[in-house]
């Protein structure tokens, strides 16, 4: 049996946590031969609820679950962690402006970044899910200067999966017959879901759908899917978010297929003219635990305009919390 990996999860008593922890413990993230130790972080008032979740984890008698710890201290939860899933965040309260939300989360993610820097394994892989995810990832990464910047990512995989589902449904194909979808930019309504490279059963997706569907249906549906789910369910997407977390980590660790890629928000190195120093979603290929931006794709005017809009929003978010960056 392999040695267990340590997986820290924040916001573990929340909705996404409840859909996610059981799947990790069942071996869906790291494989059926990889034991895991879960190191769960919550705010103090949620520790009691978290104890209930831990009881349920125990009651599943998962053979791969080698241990569970709980804490309200990031420095304890992140100790020696190989993987850190930053899900807990402050939700937008009534009357709260976007800037207030950014600032409230900046405080949380600064502190968690410092704790990662001090306590986590040097080869830790971090995924930020809590919103505003891209800018929170920037704050975490900047507060953890001794960990390589490539170890930090933010999640746009749910958007990627949503885009695949919409295109599959429109073209009557199955999701696994689609390749090379892209989400560019921010995990927000300015994101750009791009089918210009996508194929459906080996044929260019662009030739299978009309422009009107693309601009008036597909793009806004994917951009606003989160809001549609809140309207319908009264709560934000949780099971699909947990599923996307599993997909993101599996792709990062186990790699992407030869003929496909995934969308990951990573620290821009200037690829495709996107400003350096923003966490921007790019098409990425993964292998052997590393990721690489897919280079050399042709970007037309239509795409460029939309990429610039989402880049602009990320630059504004960064501007709003700039004074809090080290
Ligand atoms: P939730 O409100 O059900 O759970 C969040 C949990 O985080 C709560 O239990 C809360 O006590 C905890 N928490 C708050 N501050 C914390 C801190 N400083 N340290 C540790 N835990 C803390 O929310 P849910 O539905 O689980 O969503 C979590 C986050 O994920 C939200 O910010 C949501 O907007 C975001 N999200 C992101 C998606 C993406 O695609 N990137 C998709 C869906 C949700």
Kindly report which listed range (209-213, 231-235, 261-265, 313-317) carries the lowest average pLDDT score.
Answer: 231-235
Class of domain 5-154: alpha beta
In terms of Cβ atoms closer than 10 Å to its own Cβ (0-12, 13-18, 19+), residue 244 is buried
Ligand 1 site-directed mutation target among 47, 69, 89, most atoms within 8 Å of CB? 89
How do residues 261-282 score in pLDDT, each as one tens digit?
999 999 999 999 999 999 999 9
Task: List the chain domain ranges.
Answer: 5-154, 157-319
How do residues 235-252 score in pLDDT, each as one tens digit?
999 999 999 999 999 999
Check residue 149 and give its pLDDT: 98
Class of domain 157-319: alpha beta
Instruction: Answer whether 104 contacts ligand 1 (Cβ < 6 A).
Output: no
Element (H, E) at 290: strand 290-293
Q: Which band of pLDDT confidence, cut at 50, 70 and 90, is reported for residue 216? A: very high
How do residues 93-127 score in pLDDT, each as one tens digit?
777 777 888 999 999 999 999 999 999 999 999 99
Average predicted confidence (pLDDT) for the chain: 96
> Is the Cβ–Cβ distance between 211 and 196 less than 8 Å?
no
- Tokens 């319908």, residue located: 232
- Tokens 């660790």, residue located: 253
Ligand 1 site-directed mutation target among 14, 51, 98, 133, most atoms within 8 Å of CB? 14
CA distance 220 to 117: 38
Q: What's the rounded mean pLDDT across residues 213-219?
A: 98
Nearest to 161 by CA among 85, 59, 229: 229
Check residue 92 and give its pLDDT: 77
Query: Rounded to the nearest 5°, which phi and psi values hold at 180?
Result: 60, 45
> Is the Cβ–Cβ distance between 6 and 121 less than 8 Å?
yes
Check residue 324 and give its pLDDT: 87
Residue 77 CA to ligand 1 center (angstroms) comes to 16
Q: Can you list the positions of beta strands (E) in 58-120? A: 65-71, 83-86
Q: Which band of pLDDT confidence, cut at 50, 70 and 90, is reported for residue 75? A: very high
Check residue 95 and give its pLDDT: 75
How do residues 50-73 score in pLDDT, each as one tens digit?
999 999 999 999 999 999 999 999
């Amino acid at each position: 049996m392999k040695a267990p990996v340590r997986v820290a999860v924040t916001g573990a008593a929340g909705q996404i946590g409840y859909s996610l922890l059981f799947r990790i413990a069942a071996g869906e993230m790291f494989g059926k031969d990889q034991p895991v130790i879960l190191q769960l972080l919550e705010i103090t008032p949620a520790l009691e609820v978290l104890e209930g979740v831990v009881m349920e984890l125990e009651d599943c008698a998962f053979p791969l679950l080698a241990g569970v710890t709980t804490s309200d201290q990031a420095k304890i939860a992140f100790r020696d962690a190989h993987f850190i899933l930053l899900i807990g965040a402050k939700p937008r309260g009534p009357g709260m402006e976007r800037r207030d939300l950014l600032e409230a989360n900046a405080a949380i993610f600064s502190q968690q970044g410092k704790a990662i820097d001090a306590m986590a394994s040097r080869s830790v892989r971090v995924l930020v899910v809590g919103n505003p995810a891209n800018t929170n990832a920037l704050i975490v990464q900047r507060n953890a200067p001794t960990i390589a910047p490539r170890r930090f990512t933010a999640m746009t995989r749910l958007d990627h999966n949503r885009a695949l589902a919409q295109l599959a449904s429109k073209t009557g194909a199955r999701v696994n017959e689609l390749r090379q979808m892209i989400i560019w930019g921010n995990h927000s309504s300015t994101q750009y879901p791009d089918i210009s490279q996508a194929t459906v059963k080996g044929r260019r997706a662009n030739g299978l759908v009309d422009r009107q569907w693309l601009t008036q249906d597909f793009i806004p549906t994917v951009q606003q899917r989160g809001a549609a789910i809140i309207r319908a369910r009264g709560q934000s997407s949780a099971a699909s978010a947990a599923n996307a977390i599993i997909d993101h980590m599996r792709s990062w660790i186990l790699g992407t297929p030869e003929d496909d890629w995934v969308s990951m928000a990573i620290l821009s190195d200037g690829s495709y003219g996107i400003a350096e120093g923003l966490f921007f979603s790019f098409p990425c290929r993964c292998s052997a635990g590393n990721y690489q931006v897919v280079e050399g794709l042709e970007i037309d005017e239509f795409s460029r305009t939309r990429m610039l809009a989402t880049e602009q929003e990320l630059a504004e978010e960064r501007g709003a919390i700039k004074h809090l960056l080290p």
